[in-house]
Chains A and B, each alone.
Chain A
Amino acid sequence: DVKVTQSSRYLVKRTGEKVFLECVQDMDHENMFWYRQDPGLGLRLIYFSYDVKMKEKGDIPEGYSVSREKKERFSLILESASTNQTSMYLCASSVTSGGTGELFFGEGSRLTVL
């Protein structure tokens, strides 16, 4: 089974702190994604990556950056956390480069910014 592991299930940070959210997948998937889930807004794409060292902006990239140094690992970085970044963050991976493949999600990281 595909496994997508997010390093932290729950985090509490203060405004202005730098936050790292780590994601690792074990199935050699080329594509990795970061979404955030908010009530009434569904899942919104922050960034995605089709290959090592490649990244593409999603629909809401402002305030975020990403890093993909290894194929299995995709990190989401909040350079200076703000309260409006309090959310559930979901990492996903997929095997089909054309984007029609099923996404496999991690369990999510709930971030609270005080």
Chain B
Amino acid sequence: DQQVKQNSPSLSVQEGRISILNCDYTNSMFDYFLWYKKYPAEGPTFLISISSIKDKNEDGRFTVFLNKSAKHLSLHIVPSQPGDSAVYFCAATGNTGKLIFGQGTTLQVKP
């Protein structure tokens, strides 16, 4: 049972355009959401997070939007850069203390 789903395995965008990565979850007990970025042969690194009491969090070029009623969050990268090419994982946690990850979306930003 996949509680966190990233339904798009891959995404390709042109440099300078917006990248939108989507994530859906099923567990209404999740109250904190994170995005991680992973380059090949490296461990994932934290990118941005959002609490369920907010609907938007922004950090430079990265913005995460949370729609609790739809159980959906998205990561926007504007403008996209070739160095953003990586695998992006959405993750969620609630009162269990466990961080549950999605399947990941591979983003390719073309120069």
Interface bracket on B: 20 to 34
In the complex, B6 has a CB within 8 A of chain A: yes
Interface bracket on A: 20 to 34
Closest to A31 in B: B97
Could you say which of A31, A99, A102 contacts B49, with CB atoms under 8 Å apart?
A102
Q: Which of B56-64, B66-74, B100-108 contacts A (4 or more CB under 8 A)?
A: B100-108
Q: How far is the CA of A59 from the CA of B49 in the complex (A)?
A: 23
Which residues of A lie under 8 Å from residue B36 when comparing CB positions? 103, 105
In the complex, B109 has a CB within 8 A of chain A: no
Q: How far is the CA of A98 from the CA of B94 in the complex (A)?
A: 9
Taking a contact as CB atoms under 8 Å apart, the answer to whether A43 and B97 are in contact is: no
Taking a contact as CB atoms under 8 Å apart, the answer to whether B46 and A44 are in contact is: no
In the complex, A12 has a CB within 8 A of chain B: no
Could you say which of B42, B44, B98 contacts A99, with CB atoms under 8 Å apart?
B98
Taking a contact as CB atoms under 8 Å apart, the answer to whether B42 and A107 are in contact is: yes
Could you say which of A43, A99, A106, A107 contacts B101, with CB atoms under 8 Å apart?
A43
Taking a contact as CB atoms under 8 Å apart, the answer to whether A99 and B45 are in contact is: no
In the complex, B99 has a CB within 8 A of chain A: yes
Given A100-B93, A102-B34: A45 and B44 interface contact (C-beta under 8 Å):
no
Taking a contact as CB atoms under 8 Å apart, the answer to whether B98 and A42 are in contact is: no
In the complex, A111 has a CB within 8 A of chain B: no
Could you say which of A4, A97, A100, A105 contacts B32, with CB atoms under 8 Å apart?
A100
Which residues of B lie under 8 Å from residue A58 when comparing CB positions? 98
Given A99-B96, A100-B32: A43 and B89 interface contact (C-beta under 8 Å):
yes
List 13 A-B pairs, Cβ < 8 Å.
Answer: A35-B101, A43-B44, A43-B101, A45-B98, A50-B97, A58-B98, A90-B44, A99-B96, A100-B31, A102-B34, A102-B46, A102-B49, A107-B42
Nearest 5 Cβ contacts at the A-B interface: A99-B97, A105-B43, A43-B101, A42-B103, A100-B32
Chain A residues engaging chain B, CB cutoff 8 angstroms? 4, 31, 33, 35, 40-45, 48, 50, 58-59, 90, 92, 97-100, 102-108
